Amino acid sequence: MQAAALALSVGMAVAAGLVGCFAVMRRMSLASDAMSHVALPGIGIALVFHFHPVIGGFAALVVGTLLVWDLERRTQISTETVIGVVFSLALAVGSMLATGDELVDALLGAPGTLGSWELALGLVGAAAVSVFVLTQRNRLVLALVSADIARTSGIRVARLELAYLIAFAVTVALGLRYLGVLLMGSLIIIPAATAKYLARSLDGMFAIAAVVAVTSTVAGELVAASVHRATGPVIIAIAAALFFASLALRRQPAAR
Amino acid sequence: MANALDVERLSVRFRRNVVLRNLSFSVAEGSALAVIGPNGAGKTVLFRALIDALPHDGTVRWAPGTRIGYVPQKLDIERDLPITGRDFLDAKAAVSQTPRADVGRVLDLVNLPASVAGQPIGALSGGQFQRLLLGVALMGRPTVLLFDEPTAGVDEPGQERLYEMIHRLQETEGLTLLLISHELSVVYRYAANVLCLSRESPCLGPPEEILTPERIEQLYGTPLKYHHH
């Protein structure tokens, strides 16, 4: 069971690192952080009606994602703005539904023992997200550089966008338990930001983002257990430390 | 000769602002059409409507089997993306189901050394980046090239080389070319037909009919200098 839990942490971290690469390159850093908060009202509803919080969180994320995607297409308002509004609403509704300790757990994550179906579902989700990013990387790159080039290459840009946002939502859902809604966005963004800073090619970026995310997660779990602190904040503190270390690394003249 | 493109009564509007109204024209296969007009006349809007990136009225009919290579005007990307020219070309190769070996052929065609293509795209000069975009457009063996101001941000000798390259490609690969340009001397030299867009009345014809001093003054509002060759 221990090994399976470790596998899930690693899988979640790899998925977060990979999905994050495109979030950072698409300048969605702040938006991604905000988007993870959309899970909160779903968790609140799950707590009220006594079903699994991650299911509620995931459902809310999917609804939020569809709302953001649709509003953006229909109104031509920027993703950042739409997510900003949807997120504030989600946080407000979520805070009304969940209170006290429940709210703190939902916000910051509360690792407990995982059931076998939770582990299995988590592993499947992590694998699906990683496979999506790696197999769709070429489409995602073309759409990132120019939607018009992507379109004339036969890519259905709006559909790809939706698929990416769903992959993002799945990734956030994977981390809700460990990191909570406030911090999961950070595990997606910080390793990818580190990778963007250090890498000189796409393969390099994927590799660095995955390694930084896995290192932060595994080290964070170990450290948190030994100092008796919540896991999420420790994971993010380590990821942020690695980010700052990368700033120092890049200062070397060899970097360019 | 068959037409590569037939456009009938094309209109594009943004809310109440009509940018293109009832535009009809055709482009023969293997020929070059230059689109000219002052800023805000809707040149880029026309291109984006042609590739179905904008909602529009009227019909846009490409010949069956048309493959479009699109070179956009400017790209809204960060300078420090860890995406190399090679990553970009490989992505286009994969999506257009072209063998990777074609990347080398395209780099030769656009005269871009492999060492330059290996650099992050943000590190390329304006001219190198334009040639990379042309290379990406050529991956997948397009039958039509859409070129939105290919030489913006490129110095004059660079412009000359780029146009020569486009012209050569058009002849050797038998491409149909649609080109937005402010360089009237270039338009004069390379285009079989010129489509001028303006708020009042669009005009279409061979360069020697369209690029008369009176027409140009009417179109741009000022007399414009250009040289024949």
pLDDT string in tens for chain A (256-residue length): 578 888 999 999 999 999 999 999 987 777 777 778 888 888 888 888 888 888 888 899 888 888 878 877 777 777 777 777 877 888 888 888 877 777 777 777 766 667 788 888 899 999 999 999 999 999 999 999 999 999 999 999 989 989 998 999 999 988 887 788 888 889 999 999 999 999 999 999 999 999 999 999 999 989 988 998 888 889 999 999 999 999 888 755 444 4
Q: Which of B47, B95, B130 to mutate to probe the A interface, most A CBs <10 Å?
A: B95
Q: Which residues of A touch B80 (CB under 8 A)?
A: 196-197
Report d(CA A108, CA A110) in Å as an integer: 7
Report d(CA B221, CA B216) in Å as an integer: 8
> How many angstroms away from the CA of A150 is the closest CA of chain B?
8
> How many angstroms away from the CA of A87 is the closest CA of chain B?
26
Please report, to the nearest 10 degrees, the dihedral formed by the alpha carbons of residues B62, B63, B66, B71 taken in order.
Answer: -40
pTM assigned to the model: 0.88
> How many angstroms away from the CA of A14 is the closest CA of chain B?
19
Pair A37, A182: CB distance under 8 Å: yes
C-alpha distances (whole Å) from B19 to each of A154, B70, B210, B214 are: 26, 21, 21, 24
What residues of chain B, 21 to 80, have a C-beta less than 8 Å from chain A?
A: 48, 51-53, 68-70, 72, 75, 77-78, 80
Q: Which helix (H) or strand (E) holds A22?
A: helix A2-25
Report d(CA A136, CA A161) in Å as an integer: 11
Q: Which two tokens stand for residue A194?
A: 């580190």
Report d(CA B227, CA B160) in Å as an integer: 14
If you count DSSP H runs as helices and E runs as strands, how many of each does chain B have, helices first? 9, 9
Question: Nearest 5°: phi and psi at A11?
Answer: -60, -45
A166-194 per-residue burial string, b: 16 or more CB within 10 A, e: under 16: bbbbbbbbbbbbbbbbbbbbbbbbbbbbb
Residues A69-124 pLDDT 10s: 887 777 777 777 777 787 788 888 888 887 777 777 777 776 666 778 888 889 99
Instruction: Report, as an integer, the average pLDDT of B160-180.
Output: 85
Out of A147, A149, A155, the one facing B136 most closely (by C-beta) is A149
Identify the structural domains of chain A with CATH numbers, from first to last.
2-10+18-183 (1.10.3470.10)
A204, B82: Cβ pair inside 8 Å? yes
Identify the structural domains of chain B with CATH numbers, from first to last.
1-66+143-229 (3.40.50.300), 79-140 (no CATH)
Q: Which two tokens stand for residue A39?
A: 């899970």
B91, A141: Cβ pair inside 8 Å? yes
A146, B75: Cβ pair inside 8 Å? yes
Residues B47-95 pLDDT 10s: 999 999 888 999 999 999 899 999 988 777 777 899 999 999 999 999 9
Inform me whether the C-beta atom of residue B188 falls under 8 Å from chain A C-beta atoms: no
Please report, to the nearest 10 degrees, the dihedral formed by the alpha carbons of residues A150, A73, B59, A156 taken in order.
Answer: 30
C-alpha distances (whole Å) from B38 to each of A153, A199, A204, B47, B221 are: 29, 42, 44, 15, 9
Name the residue among A198, A168, A196 with its Cα closest to residue A184: A168
Out of A153, A202, A203, the one facing B92 most closely (by C-beta) is A153
Out of B52, B78, B83, the one facing A202 most closely (by C-beta) is B83
B90, A138: Cβ pair inside 8 Å? yes
A148, B136: Cβ pair inside 8 Å? no
Q: How far apart are the first and last CA of chain B?
A: 27
Pair B173, B143: CB distance under 8 Å: no
Pair B144, B5: CB distance under 8 Å: yes
